[in-house]
Amino acid sequence: MPQPDQRSLRPPNPPQDTHSWHSEGVEEAKNKAGSSGHKKHSWMRTIISILVAWFAFFMLFSWMQDSMNPVVSLPYNVYYQQLENDNIDTISSNGDTIEGEFRNSFTYDGVTSKQFRTERPTWADDSMASLLQKNNVEITAVSPVTSTNPFLTLLFSLIPIVAIFGLWYWFMKKQMSGTSSLFGGKDHKPINPENNRVTFDDVAGIDEVEDQLREVVDMLKHPEKYTRLGAKIPRGILLEGGPGTGKTLLARATAGEANVPFFSISAAEIGGILAGKGASDVRSLFEAARKVAPAIIFIDEIDAIGRSRSNANSLTSNEDREQTLNQILTEMDGFSATNNIIVIAATNLAEVLDSALTRAGRFDRTITVSPPDLNGREAILRVHTRGRLLAPTISLADIARSTPGLTGADLANLVNEASLLAARKQKRWIEMSDFTNALETIQLGVQRAVVMDPKERERTAWHEAGHALLGMIQKGADPVRKISIIPRGRALGVTLSTPEEDKYGYDKDYLRGRIIGALGGMAAEEVVLGVVTTGAESDLQTATGIARQMFGRWGMSDKIGPMQVYPREGDPRAAGASDALLHAVDEEVRTLLSECYTEAKRLLKEHSAQHRALVEALLMHETLDEDDAYKIAGIPRQPTAAEQALEPTPASGGTPHTAEN
């Protein structure tokens, strides 16, 4: 089979024009002529605009001067009459023109002024000279009338134009520079290494995250070890997690360990009120980083500019934010992207970010930074207490055990508050009581000096004792740590319950118990006092929120089924939920809250003696600790899951049975 001619597969050559050079020259000349003509017309328009504005300001200033210093033009006979009435103070004559000032303001033809001007007829035969002398009128060589100088007016009218164009030029220069903010600029400069002495030694409690970032540091220090095998350094790392979990600290530690220039910026700082400013800021930031590469760019709260453009919430977006996002996408994975810059971004809402931003090639790794566990909290406390004077009786393990759910920032604040309390009391060192009081202040609020009415104080005691008692008698409920009727923050009383171990998942029974405990205060007021007060507002909010999450997000309803009705944010109707489905969720929530409230009242009636004992103790001591509360109520503490695991399990024969190796 004959092979096709390879040349026949190519597109035909364009026809050759022997005079193509001439036509190109003509087009170029036309373009140049058009460009020069456009510039000429542009300059002409600018000059005409300036002249028109100049004339307008000149007329305005002239009118203002005339309005501020009006001159009355008088007929000669009126002037002579004012002279006879001795109302002329000063005059000046220039030929037949007479100008002067009245002694008192005079109104003529709707104009009131102390200055006048008139013309003396050449044929006038009067005794003006004798009258002037008789009335002691001052005759001057210089006219007393304030006259406008057209040249000075013209000069002053030019000042606003110069000021406007000067401000416009300065504003546009700042805007086009791309390295400045709206009303003043600064170049993007790396953080001084002397000011960033944070390393991984200052990070604790998140070892798995630290290990992933150590690999990035090693890539920056020894890139040849990875490029030799064809590996590429990640262009972007997204740190997502709740507030205070240490995302910014991790970014600073990464830069400190790698010993490379570190650029830090918040997404809220990018942009301004002018369109295109955000994209210009991003462009200048990456240009500054390229000059000193390898470098690290840290963008905090990137969800402020990186939200998804495809969901319903994008209706509230603006063009400048989308331009800023597009510029970030281009800089991270475009023709101008470089492998020597690593972008580390932090966000609390990774699920709302645009998919084009989180795809591989831009943010190659997404690292979740979670609150620390028990061992992590102890390690974080050890870091933050370095160099502090601690009492020998302090146990960081006990403090960590009593602070479930606290983040690294919360623990740092706890240590600082304890130090302040000890310093305020002029102690030799920080004691365990300082940590306990600081934790109460953080979790419960600052004590208020409020003088409570005895009836209000008793009602608060019944309310808080109801919360505490239901927390004690329910199986699997969180242990009650403290009960207090001392006003703290916005509350008149508080009951603190925290889990013994860290919890990462909750079943329906546990959440139902949480709702019963939350409604215990309201139920106690109704059962004992026969009233329901506004003090239950926070409790109802908590209980309703848990119930809505159970049925609207966590699929704990047999009637609704395993589906999510409420999205993480936004209107559920926009996510596709029908009115009938939302009504079903509301019915489930209302039914559960009603059942839990009935159960709370039943339990309080059955344990009324224990309830009263707690109230009497609270009225006497105002605050009850964990051990005292359980002892007064006569209720043994429920063993934790860890304690239950250590207990021997009875075998079928009734004898203790232990597991054998």
CATH number, domain of 590, equals 1.20.58.760
Please tell me whether residues 469 and 608 are part of one structural domain: yes
Is 174 a member of any domain?
Answer: no
Q: For residue 329, which of 315, 343, 312 has the smallest C-alpha distance?
A: 343
Please tell me whether residues 272 and 386 are part of one structural domain: no
**Is 464 labeled as catalytic in the residue annotation?**
yes
pLDDT single digits (tens) 114-146: 788 888 887 776 778 777 777 788 778 777 766
Per-residue pLDDT at 211:
83
Helix (H, G, I), strand (E, B) or coil at 270: coil
Please tell me whether residues 427 and 321 are part of one structural domain: no
Under 8 Å CB-to-CB from 3, ≥6 apart: which residues?
Answer: none
pTM over 0.85: no
Please tell me whether residues 400 and 528 are part of one structural domain: no
User: Does position 646 have pLDDT exceeding 60, yes or no?
Assistant: no
Average pLDDT of 310-327?
A: 65
Is 23 a member of any domain?
Answer: no
Please tell me whether residues 387 and 338 are part of one structural domain: no
Is 596 a member of any domain?
Answer: yes
Q: Which of 314, 337, 369 is the last residue in one of the domains?
A: 369
Return the structure tokens found at 570.
């936004």
Under 8 Å CB-to-CB from 47, ≥6 apart: which residues?
Answer: none
Return the structure tokens found at 533.
């007060």
pLDDT single digits (tens) 5-20: 333 333 344 444 433 3
Average pLDDT of 253-274?
A: 75
Please tell me whether residues 255 and 309 are part of one structural domain: yes
pLDDT single digits (tens) 138-183: 778 777 766 555 666 566 666 777 777 777 777 766 655 544 444 4
How far apart are alpha carbons 40 and 34 in whole angstroms?
Answer: 10
Please tell me whether residues 387 and 280 are part of one structural domain: no
Strand boundaries in 148-242, DSSP class E: 180-181, 184-185, 236-241
Q: What is the CATH number of the domain that holds 76?
A: 3.30.720.210
Side-chain-facing half-sphere of 427: CA atoms under 13 Å:
18
Is 169 a member of any domain?
Answer: no
Q: Structural domain tally of the chain?
A: 4
- Catalytic annotation, pick one of 464, 500, 588, 599: 464
Please tell me whether residues 464 and 515 are part of one structural domain: yes
Is 185 a member of any domain?
Answer: no
Residues in the chain: 661
How far apart are alpha carbons 303 and 661 in whole angstroms?
Answer: 53
Please tell me whether residues 282 and 227 are part of one structural domain: yes
- Give percent of the chain with pLDDT exceeding 70: 78
Please tell me whether residues 578 and 517 are part of one structural domain: yes
Q: What is the CATH number of the domain that holds 390?
A: 1.10.8.60
Q: For residue 365, which of 208, 236, 215 has the smallest C-alpha distance?
A: 236
Q: Which of 369, 394, 420 is the last residue in one of the domains?
A: 369
User: Does position 202 have pLDDT exceeding 90, yes or no?
Assistant: no
How far apart are alpha carbons 641 and 501 in whole angstroms?
Answer: 8
pLDDT single digits (tens) 521-579: 999 999 998 888 888 888 999 999 999 999 999 999 888 889 888 887 778 888 888 88
Per-residue pLDDT at 183:
42
Please tell me whether residues 480 and 582 are part of one structural domain: yes
String of b and e for 480-489 (b: at least 16 CB within 10 Å)?
Answer: bbbbbbbbbe
* Four-residue CA torsion sign, 297, 303, 304, 305: positive
Is 471 a member of any domain?
Answer: yes
Cα angle: 642, vertex 646, 649; to 5 degrees: 125
Mean pLDDT, all residues of the chain: 77
Give the residue numbers spanning the domain of 391: 380-444
Q: What is the CATH number of the domain that holds 339?
A: 3.40.50.300
pLDDT single digits (tens) 372-401: 888 888 999 999 998 889 988 888 988 888
pLDDT single digits (tens) 24-37: 333 444 444 454 55
Q: Which of 339, 369, 399 is the last residue in one of the domains?
A: 369
Is 172 a member of any domain?
Answer: no
Under 8 Å CB-to-CB from 559, ≥6 apart: which residues?
Answer: 584, 588
Are the beta carbons of 323 and 289 closer than 8 angstroms? Answer: no
Please tell me whether residues 428 and 462 are part of one structural domain: no
Is 57 a member of any domain?
Answer: no
Encoded amino acid at 376, one letter: G
